[in-house]
Every structure is written in structure tokens, then in C-alpha cells.
Amino acid sequence: MTIPRSEGRSLFGSDPASYDRVRPGYPDRVFEVLGEARALRPGAHVLEIGPGTGQATRPMARAGVASIIALEPDAALAAYLRDKMADEGWPVDVRVGAFEDEELDDGVFDLVIAATSFHWVDQTHGLAKVKRVLRHGGLWAMLWNLFGDPEREDRFHEATQPVLVSLDRSPSGGAEQVPFALEVDARVGDLTASGLVDIEHQLLRWTLTLDAQSIRALYATFSPISRLDTVARRRVLDEIARIATEEFHDQVDRNMVTSLYTARHR
């Protein structure tokens, strides 16, 4: 079964500090691309959809943008992000709410971005709203960090499949075992149907090295695991940590892919 999109609004806020600590950020190249597109620059107005604890928010704030509105549906994550941004002095307006429900003015944003979040949004209605709130010439960016690269061997993924195979799937899992973010024809088709133009896609490959404790904490933030009851969740996480410790000698290299799509309002 696929986890309902509506459930994703409240799955990630049980431990915001841990989420912030273990969820990796995005490659610098992502923000270079946004800068080269003149969407991430001093004076720009940015809307971020589903910022979590700010893995993409911080690098954008450092670019000297005029404003960032960050829409986070999970109240606990939003409160954590609001406090962190205030402590660090960044100009971020963190609002509790889902993108689908938020009242936003038309044509005001230079950049609208969703980082590892837009699979929780209905694509047709979501992209129509993205186009509406972008200024003419503004940029839409959607990207995902994927824990696993189909082009590279991933022994840890194979070793943990017996533990994870029976769990319900996140919408990020996509169709027929191809991750949502790598269904390139489908994603480009959605963008084309929305009326956005100048569509580009690129993959950035990198490696994340974690010990067993970090692996356990990271997997606790994954939606198919975080939604389990306490006993079932502990059993799954304990087994994942055991595999990392005993079979991988407390060092796991995850082959990461960042899948980045950009498109413009005419």
C-alpha cells in the first residue's frame, strides 16, 4: 500500500532535532544552478514548499534573498525551523500549513522550490498553483535526495530489503520500483502539462557515509518506519542497526542521487 499524501503532513515531526541532525543537506551544485538561473540572488522572493528543518532553506537564505516564505504542514517541524532561523538571523517567514491550502498572491515569487517534498502534493493541482504564484520568468525547482543509486551497486539496500519490503510505501517510491524522482518522463510530462517551459533535469551523484547509530536515526525519519507503532518501529530500527554494525562493520556508504528539475513561467 502507498501511504496517503494527506498523512505526510504529520509524519515527520516527532523529533525535529534528530531529523535536523541526520537528514543530509543538498549538494552545493543545486544552489549554483539556481543562482546561474538568476532565481537565487540578492533581492529575490522565494517560496519553499515543505522545508522540514531547513536543509535547503539555510543555503538559500545565505544567498542574500529578500524574503523566504516556508510552508511547513507539520507544526512541530515548523516551530523548530522558525526558532532555528531566528537564532541564526535569517529572513525566513515560517508558516504552518500545506501548500495546497495556503492563500498566496499571484505572480510574486522569483523562485518556488520543493526539496524532497513534492511527492506529497497532487501534481496537477500543485503545479498549477506553482505557476500561478510565480512571476513571469520565475523559476520552479523540485529536487529529491535519493538514498540509493540505480546505476551503482548498493549492498546495504540489498541487505535491508527483507526488513523493509513488507512496509507500506511512501509516494516517493514511485511506480514499478522506479523512484518518483527518477520517473523522468512522467515528471517532465507533468511540468509540460502545467504550462511551465524551459524544463531541465539533472542528476548529481555523491556518497554519504554513516555509522550504525546514524543509520538508525536516519531511518527513523523515513515515513514507512515513522508511522509504525512504537514496538514495530523499534524492531525494524534495531535490525537495521544490527545489519550496519555486524555486516558492514559500523560504516555504511550510501550511494546518493540528487534529482533536480527546473522549469520557468513564461
Tell me the C-alpha distance between 181 and 142, whole Å. 9
Which tens digits make up the pLDDT trace of 33-46?
999 999 999 999 99
Give the mean pLDDT of the chain: 95
- Nearest to residue 172, comparing CAs of 183, 163, 162, 161? 183
* 8 — pLDDT class (breaks 50, 70, 90): confident
Domain ranges of the chain: 5-148+179-207+256-264
Q: Are 105 and 123 in contact (CB under 8 A)?
A: no
Tell me the C-alpha distance between 131 and 194, whole Å. 7
Share of the chain above pLDDT 70, in %: 99
Type of residue at 250: D
Kindly state which CATH superfamily the domain 5-148+179-207+256-264 is placed in.
Vaccinia Virus protein VP39 (3.40.50.150)
Contact partners, residue 120, CB within 8 Å, separation at least 6: 5, 8, 9, 50, 171
Which tens digits make up the pLDDT trace of 183-231?
999 999 999 999 999 999 999 999 999 999 999 999 999 999 999 999 9
Which tens digits make up the pLDDT trace of 97-143?
999 999 999 999 999 999 999 999 999 999 999 999 999 999 999 99
DSSP 169: B
* 177 — pLDDT class (breaks 50, 70, 90): confident
* 175 — pLDDT class (breaks 50, 70, 90): low
Instruction: Say if residue 62's pLDDT is above 90.
Output: yes
Sheet containing strand 67-72, strands side by side: 92-96, 67-72, 45-49, 109-115, 134-147, 252-264, 197-210
- Using the CB atoms, write b or e for 110-142: b if 16+ within 10 Å: bbbbbbbbbbbbebeebbebbbebbeeebbbbb
Give residue 1's pLDDT: 85
